[in-house]
Structure 1
Amino acid sequence: MKIGLLETGEPPGPLKATYGGYGSMFETLLGDGHAYRAYDVQRGELPAHPAENDAYVITGSSAGVYDPLPWIEPLKAFLRSARGETPLVGVCFGHQIMAEAFGGKVEKSPKGWGVGLQAYAVAERAVWMDDAAEVAVPGSHQDQVVDLPPTARVLAGSAFTPYGILAYDDAPAISMQFHPEFAPDYAKALIEARRGTRYTDPQADAAIASLDSPNDRARMADWIRRFLAQASS
């Protein structure tokens, strides 16, 4: 499968040199057997047509979907053109931009930051999911989807993040607020890089400690692979 990686951000400062970019993190997560092509969306690079790849992954970003940045509207337009034509997987910012592009609403949550290991209870089981009742994966976000797009269904969430995993009834499209591509070591390094600016010391300490617990990154990778296989069959 040819997977287009729509990179909407990159790790801050020296973390990219150590851990790689978000596109390469998804290559590691989803594994061999696919051909990957990365697009630097922040610099205006998008596929000329959805058929350029068999599926697309939209990555995380430090930007907000409501920011007046020149690449936001073209990305929304591309997602609308790809909807129903090419399978889509959105993660964190990707989850939010899909929701905005498809008629939902995203805002900076008054709940503050969700950071560290984030657990979502499964509310509805899609055919590409297994029988897990809960999934716990590293997360890092302040923005949240607050109004569901039409045709979106909630597959999993929490009291903090009610719309944690979404699927769309009218298109092969899924999205999630947490970050299965974040290895715990990277998630910890990201928290340390933001300590004292975005997070207080107690918040950072608690989030870092949570990342030592078992996580479901491998399960989420399997779910995404199964979704893509089903959507392309």
Structure 2
Amino acid sequence: MSTIAILNANPSKEELKQWGSFADMAIEMFEATRSDFLVSKVDYEVYNVYDNEFPTILELCKGGCLGLYITGSTSDAYTVGIDWIDKLRKFLRSLLENSAHPPISGICFGHQIFASALGSEVRRNPNGYEGGITRLKITKDALKLGLFQKPATSLPSYNFYASESHSDVVENVPEGYINILTSEKCEVQGLYKRNVALTFQGHPDFLTEVCIKCNEATYNRGEIGVDELIRIKESGKEHINDGRFLATFIWKLFTKLV
């Protein structure tokens, strides 16, 4: 049976217990979109990397692993000196050196730690916190490759909306990769290299309700004000969340279609 390895980078959060852990939400996302790619049943292998639980490079590269997925986290990807984060960064570097490595996707923290492993700068966003169902613009490089186009329409797509909840950003694009998306507050919203990696700063794994709950928790921690929380809640009513559409492109990466 084919497998997808999930590196779970955060313990379950009390405010999101209705939806489970970030790994649980990833599995739900994959299962909700799997049939589009005629993929038979998949075994999801979860590794709690925040608790120093890692697969081996050999396990991932021996064949049968469709892809590696790195979840979001409340931790900062640029942190140095926290054992599991340092280990994850080193693990990704070592994995990428193996030509047989599976395709890699990362979400939010996963996007940032992947970029950090490749030498990109990750830091606190000077433009401030970004949350809610957010407009993402497809870059010219991504448009040239035909990424994020909806086959049901003959008209080209230039933007869509997805869940966001982050204070940190990737500052520069690693060599050999392209930036695929931008937003008003974040220039590098995703990274892509054919058959190698596809990452998102946003959360295709978050349903709109999850996005709002996560941002409410940010407000309760005093990290955003009431006006911003109101705006975030309104975004959930005003915009359709295209997260599941984004998830289909992770499947396309894992099945070597992009």
Could you tell me the TM-score, scaled by structure 2's length?
0.83
Shift of residue 128 of structure 1?
A: 5.6
Given that 2:180 and 2:190 are in contact with CA atoms closer than 8 Å, whether structure 1 keeps it comes out as: yes
Deviates more, 1:61-70 or 1:174-183: 61-70
In the other structure, the counterpart of 2:213 is 189
Greater alpha carbon shift after TM alignment, 93-102 vs 126-135:
126-135
Question: Runs of 4 or more off by more than 6 Å in structure 1?
Answer: none
Cα pair 1:118 1:138 within 8 Å, conserved:
yes
Q: What SS class does the counterpart of residue 180 from structure 1 fall into?
A: coil
Contact 2:71 2:110 in 1 (8 A): yes
CA distance in 2, matches of 1:128, 1:160: 22
Q: Distance in 2 between matches of 1:35 and 1:211?
A: 32
Residue pair 1:116, 1:187 contacting (<8 A) in 2 also: yes
Q: Which residue of 2 aligns with 1:81?
A: 94
Match of 1:94 in 2: 110
Alpha-carbon distance in structure 2 between the residues aligned to 1:178 and 1:13 = 21
Q: Which amino acid aligns with 2:61?
A: A
Residue 110 of structure 1, CA deviation:
1.6
Q: Secondary structure at the match of 1:20?
A: coil
Matched, 1:226 2:252: yes
Alpha-carbon deviation of 1:11? Answer: 4.4
* Residue ranges of structure 1 left out of the alignment (5+ in a row): none
Question: What value does the CA root-mean-square deviation take over the aligned residues?
Answer: 1.9
Q: State how far apart, in whole Å, the 1-side matches of 2:174 and 2:165 are.
A: 22
Aligned to 2:7: 6
Aligned length: 230
Unaligned runs of 5+ in 2: 35-40, 150-155
SS in 2 for 1:230: coil
User: Aligned equivalents of 1:3 and 1:127: distance in 2?
Assistant: 25
Deviation at 1:167, TM superposition (A): 0.7
Deviates more, 1:78-87 or 1:95-104: 78-87
Q: 1:137-182: CA deviations, max 9, x gaps? A: 010001000122111211111231111121136x611111000101
Partners of 1:138 and 1:14 lie apart in 2 by 17
CA distance in 2 between counterparts of 1:7 and 1:15 reads 15
Q: Which residue of 2 aligns with 1:21?
A: 21
Q: Which has the larger radius of gyration?
A: 2
Amino acid at match of 1:9: N
How big is the shift at 1:42? 0.7
Q: TM-score, normalised by structure 1?
A: 0.91
